Each structure stands twice: as C-alpha cells, then as structure tokens.
Amino acid sequence: MAIRSFQGVFPVLQDGCWVDHAAVVIGRCVLGADVSIWPNATLRGDVNDIMVGDRSNIQDGCVLHTTHESEKSKGSKCIVGQDVTVGHNVVLHGCIIENECLIGMGSVVLDNAVVQKNVLVGANSLVPPGKVLESGHLYVGSPVKKVRPLTDEEMAFFKYSAKHYVDLKNEYQNHYDYVDEEE
C-alpha cells in the first residue's frame, strides 16, 4: 500500500483499516476503524485534513482532497462520517459528508458543501460549493436537485452497505496475495 508522509506528517490508520496496495494515502489523513480504501483511490492530505469515519468505504478511483488555508480563506477539510459508501470515481473536495450516506458513482462534491446524515446522492451528480443537502432525501443531477424523501428501506441500506464493505475488506485482508513483480 502506498501510505506516504508529507512534510513529516504520516496518515493515521485506526484498527482494522485496510488500504489496497494500488491506493495512495498521503499526509494529513485519519482513517477510522474498519475503513476500506479501494484500488486507485487517492487521499491527498497535503494542504489540509482528510478524515474518514469508522466503517466507511472509499471505492475504486475516488479522489479526496482539500483547500489550503490562506489569508484569503480558512480552507476546507474533507470529512467523511461513519458508515458512508463513496462509490467508484467520486471526487470529494473540501466537503463534509455526514454519517450514513451513499455518494453515487462518478459524483463530485465541492468545497464547503455539506451532505447531511441519511442522504443518497445519485450517480454522476454535482454538488456545488457551499450547497447543503437536507437529511433524508435523494438528490440527483448536475447541479443536484432534491427529488424526494428516502424510504425507511433506503435509509437502512446505508448501514447494510457499510457492513458489506467491512466484510469484503476483511476477506481481502485475509485472502489477498500479491505477486512479486520481479519474478
């Protein structure tokens, strides 16, 4: 796995965290217990903090980054709550994703946007800077629009998805072999 320091700051990985060898985690990143980071995901904590909460999964090809602090801006951290599923090829930039959400494949969530608890962001959606997505709803589009309230079954899926990815990363931790490239 490519876990790297930046300016002397190493990522912090809690118990049970798994980072695929083809993923990159750099600098000011804190990954909670049972977090999974999948192939080709990049978490670049070079100019501000990235935090991923317990049991969340960052799937293949995702990019998590931040905005730096300056005299013109306080910057923006990238914070992902607990039990969040971040689908393939999502970009999270300096935003907050609260607990128990699903961010659909190919979506982009920009600086200072807040995705409140129990939100489903549909695939290929764009969440503009500073937008707040209200808890308990489905949002889709570019830019996103609130479509409808989520059902209880849909909201229960968030924890199911997070548990599924904890179980899957456990399988990878226990049964994943690497081929030595020099052989």
Look up residue 179 and give its two tokens. Answer: 């081929």
pLDDT at residue 183 in the model:
47
pTM of the model: 0.94
CATH number for the domain that contains residue 145: 2.160.10.10
Q: Is residue 111 part of a domain?
A: yes
Calculate the CA 130 to chain-centre distance.
Answer: 18
- CB neighbour list of residue 181: distance below 8 Å, 6 or more residues apart: none
Of 21, 25, 90, the C-alpha closest to 51 is 25
pLDDT at residue 32 in the model:
98
Q: Is residue 183 part of a domain?
A: no
C-beta of residue 130 within 8 angstroms of C-beta of residue 112:
yes
C-beta of residue 118 within 8 angstroms of C-beta of residue 133:
no
Which residue ranges in the chain fall short of pLDDT 70? Answer: 1, 177-183
**How, if at all, do strands 24-31 and 12-13 pair?**
parallel
Q: Is residue 11 part of a domain?
A: yes
pLDDT at residue 69 in the model:
85
Q: Is residue 109 part of a domain?
A: yes
Neighbour tally for 165: CB within 10 Å: 24
pLDDT per position as a tens digit, 108-143 = 999 999 999 999 999 999 999 999 999 999 999 999
Q: Is residue 181 part of a domain?
A: no
Calculate the CA 97 to chain-centre distance.
Answer: 8
Domain that holds residue 171: 2-175
What is the rounded CA–CA span in Å between residue 131 and residue 35? 26
Q: Is residue 164 part of a domain?
A: yes
Q: Is residue 115 part of a domain?
A: yes
The structural domain count of the chain equals 1
Q: Is residue 139 part of a domain?
A: yes
